[in-house]
């Protein structure tokens, strides 16, 4: 599901073109790591946003992104000015909140913002909306929500393409497997919100 979310969200909603700049948050995670790799395959310049030095290193060294921004220790707005001097053509958002607001300020004209998720807001009783939404107006940009299930009749296409890229060695998939069975589900789920997973978080329930 993560790979298909990345595939359809980026290709159908993000519509990146070769040479364009693509930014993705949650970049070391299941969806984000695939988004960035597909964008590289399509000839884009790719910047990932992730929490902590180790994840930023993973994003560049393992997944082949051009640059990574550590949102926990860097000023995202400043770093985007440096890494995306001509602006951001596609922003694939997995986290919402302050990171979304920082990227909105850096949009290029005609940019596409893919609203895939907003993990920073899921546990909030008062979710924070984007304050910098007027950047969509100024830049003639769009912000579109996507849900992977809407693409059910095209899953075969996505699976075939992702499998081909993987077989060719152009797409890496990283799984973070936790043991413990069903009893460990609540604690394992919380790892997503603490940023403790690298790649797709999987709970092993049996051999």
Task: Provide the binding-site residues for ligand NAP, judged by CB under 6 A.
Answer: 1-2, 5, 26, 28-32, 50-51, 55, 94-95, 97, 99, 116-117, 119-120, 146-148, 192-193, 195, 197, 201
Minimum distance between the CB of residue 178 and ligand NAP, rounded to whole angstroms?
A: 13
Minimum distance between the CB of residue 114 and ligand NAP, rounded to whole angstroms?
A: 9
For residue 92, CA distances in Å to 7, 14, 34, 206 come to 11, 7, 11, 34
Those residues with Cβ within 8 angstroms of residue 59's Cβ, 6 or more apart along the chain or in another chain: 27, 28, 33, 36, 48, 50, 65, 68
Nearer to ligand NAP (CB atom), residue 86 or residue 131? 131
Nearer to ligand NAP (CB atom), residue 57 or residue 139? 57
Minimum distance between the CB of residue 11 and ligand NAP, rounded to whole angstroms?
A: 14
Minimum distance between the CB of residue 51 and ligand NAP, rounded to whole angstroms?
A: 3
Nearer to ligand NAP (CB atom), residue 86 or residue 150? 150
Whether 25 contacts 96, CB under 8 Å? no
Whether 46 contacts 36, CB under 8 Å? yes
**How many Å separate Cα 175 from the centre of its chain?**
16
Nearer to ligand NAP (CB atom), residue 139 or residue 155? 155
**How many Å separate Cα 37 from the centre of its chain?**
10
């Amino acid at each position: 599901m993560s790979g298909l979310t990345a595939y359809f969200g980026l290709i159908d909603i993000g519509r990146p073109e070769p040479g364009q700049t693509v930014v993705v948050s949650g970049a070391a995670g299941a969806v984000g790591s695939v988004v960035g790799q597909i964008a590289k395959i399509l000839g884009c310049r790719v910047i990932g946003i992730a929490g902590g030095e180790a994840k930023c290193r993973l994003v560049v060294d393992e997944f082949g992104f051009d640059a990574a921004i550590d949102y926990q220790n860097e000023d995202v707005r400043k770093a985007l000015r440096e890494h995306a001097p001509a602006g951001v053509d596609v922003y694939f958002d997995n986290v919402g909140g302050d990171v979304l607001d920082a990227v909105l300020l850096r949009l290029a004209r005609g940019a596409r913002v893919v609203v895939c998720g907003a993990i920073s807001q899921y546990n909030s009783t008062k979710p924070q909306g984007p304050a910098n939404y007027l950047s969509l107006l100024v830049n003639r940009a769009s912000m579109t929500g996507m849900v992977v299930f809407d693409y059910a009749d095209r899953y075969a296409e996505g699976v075939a393409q992702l499998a081909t890229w993987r077989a060719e060695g152009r797409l890496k998939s990283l799984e973070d497997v936790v043991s413990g069975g069903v009893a460990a589900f609540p604690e394992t789920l919380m790892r997503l919100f603490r940023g403790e997973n690298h790649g797709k978080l999987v709970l092993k329930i049996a051999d």
